[in-house]
Amino acid sequence: MALVALLVLWISEQMGSAVRKKTEELNEEEREDFGVILAATLTLLGLIIGFSFSMAISRYDQRKNLEEEEANAIGTEYLRVELLPAANAEKVRGLLKSYLEQRILFYETRWERDLVAVNARTAELQGELWNAVKEPAETERSAVQALTVSGMNDVLNSQGYTQAAWWNRIPVPAWGLMWLIAICCNVMIGYYVRQKKGHWVRLIVMPLVVAVSFLLIADIDSPRGGIIRVQPRNLISLAGSLK
C-alpha cells in the first residue's frame, strides 16, 4: 500500500503541475491566498493521520493487554483445577496445555487460511474444557467447584475478547478520507510549487512522507501482517513454566 500511495500521490502532484502550466501564473496576492488554503488542507491531513495513528496504537495496546490477560486466566485456572478430583484435574491440565498451544498458534499464524484449523481446534478444546469442569460441578455443588467453573469461564471469555480486538481495525471510510485529502493536498502542492531547477525534489517529499505514514499506520493496525505485531510472550512464558 505504501508503494501504491507513493505512486498515486506523485501522479497527483504531476496532475496539479500540469493544470498550472495550462493556466495563467498566479500573482503574489493569489499565491498568498492559495498558500493559506494549502496550509489549512495540510493541517487537516496531518490531524487525520495523527488521529488514525492514535487509533492504530490504541488497538495495538489493547491486543497486547488482552494477550497478557489471557495468559493470566489460563495460568490461574491451571492452579485452580487442583481443587477438582484427581482424575478430572489431570484431564483438565492436559486440555489446558493443548489449549495453550493453540492460543500461541493463533498469535503466530500469519495467513488466514492456516487460521481456520487453529480456530476449529480451539473451539473443540473449549467444549472439552467446559465439559471437564462441568461434570464434577454438577456432581458436587460447592463453592470450590464454582471457583473452578468461574475460572474456566474467564479462560473462554478471554479468547472471545482477544478475537474481538483482532477484528477491531481502522474503518475503511477513515482510510478513504485520508486517501482523498492526501490526493487533494498533493494536487494543490503540484499546482503551487514553481517550476524551477530541482523542483522535482520538492515534489517527491510530500508523497514520500505521506506514504511512510500510511505504511506505519497500516503496519500497526494489521494484527497478522507487517513487522509490528503482538508477540505471545506471556503465553509462551506460561507454556514454558507448565512444562
The answer to whether 10 touches 207, Cβ cutoff 8 Å, is yes
61: which 3 cell numbers? Answer: 495496546
Taking each helix axis as running N to C, give the angle between helix 233-242 and helix 28-80, from 0 to 180 degrees, rounded to the nearest 10: 10
Q: Do 159 and 75 lie in a common domain?
A: yes
Q: Do 9 and 44 lie in a common domain?
A: yes
Distance CA 97, CA 171 (A): 36
**How does the average pLDDT of the chain come out, rounded?**
88
- Check residues 151 and 201 and name the one with the higher pLDDT: 151
194 band by pLDDT with thresholds 50, 70 and 90: low
Q: Do 151 and 212 lie in a common domain?
A: no
Region of poorest pLDDT, from 160-164, 198-202, 214-218: 198-202
DSSP category for residue 131: H
Residue 214 domain flag: yes
Residue 235 domain flag: no
The answer to whether 66 touches 154, Cβ cutoff 8 Å, is no
Distance CA 52, CA 165 (A): 16
Residue 240 domain flag: no
- Predicted confidence at residue 198, as pLDDT, reads 53
Q: Do 127 and 36 lie in a common domain?
A: no
- Predicted confidence at residue 203, as pLDDT, reads 76
Around Cβ 100, how many Cβ atoms within 10 Å?
A: 23
Residue 35 domain flag: yes
Residue 227 domain flag: no
Residue 22 domain flag: yes
Residue 191 domain flag: yes
Q: Do 148 and 181 lie in a common domain?
A: no
* Total of domains in the chain: 2
Q: Do 139 and 154 lie in a common domain?
A: yes
- Predicted confidence at residue 60, as pLDDT, reads 94
Q: Do 70 and 165 lie in a common domain?
A: yes
Average pLDDT over residues 116-138: 89
DSSP category for residue 195: -
Q: Do 178 and 145 lie in a common domain?
A: no
The answer to whether 196 touches 20, Cβ cutoff 8 Å, is no
Average pLDDT over residues 213-228: 90
Q: Do 197 and 140 lie in a common domain?
A: no
Q: Do 85 and 158 lie in a common domain?
A: yes
Does residue 110 sit in helix, strand or coil?
coil
pLDDT tens digit sequence for 88-123: 889 999 999 999 999 999 999 888 888 999 999 999
Average pLDDT over residues 235-243: 90
Q: Do 181 and 204 lie in a common domain?
A: yes
Distance CA 134, CA 160 (A): 20
pTM for this entry = 0.83
- Predicted confidence at residue 51, as pLDDT, reads 93
Q: Assess whether pLDDT exceeds 60 at residue 180.
A: yes
Q: Assess whether pLDDT exceeds 70 at residue 83.
A: yes
Single residue among 169, 194, 209 that ends a domain in this structure: 169
Domain that holds residue 113: 66-169
pLDDT tens digit sequence for 152-179: 999 999 999 999 999 999 999 999 999 9
- Predicted confidence at residue 199, as pLDDT, reads 58
Q: Assess whether pLDDT exceeds 70 at residue 201.
A: no
DSSP category for residue 222: -
Q: Do 73 and 146 lie in a common domain?
A: yes
Secondary element (H or E) of residue 212 = helix 199-221
pLDDT tens digit sequence for 37-82: 889 999 999 999 999 999 999 999 999 999 999 999 999 999 988 8
Residue 14 domain flag: yes
- Predicted confidence at residue 197, as pLDDT, reads 54
Does residue 27 sit in helix, strand or coil?
coil
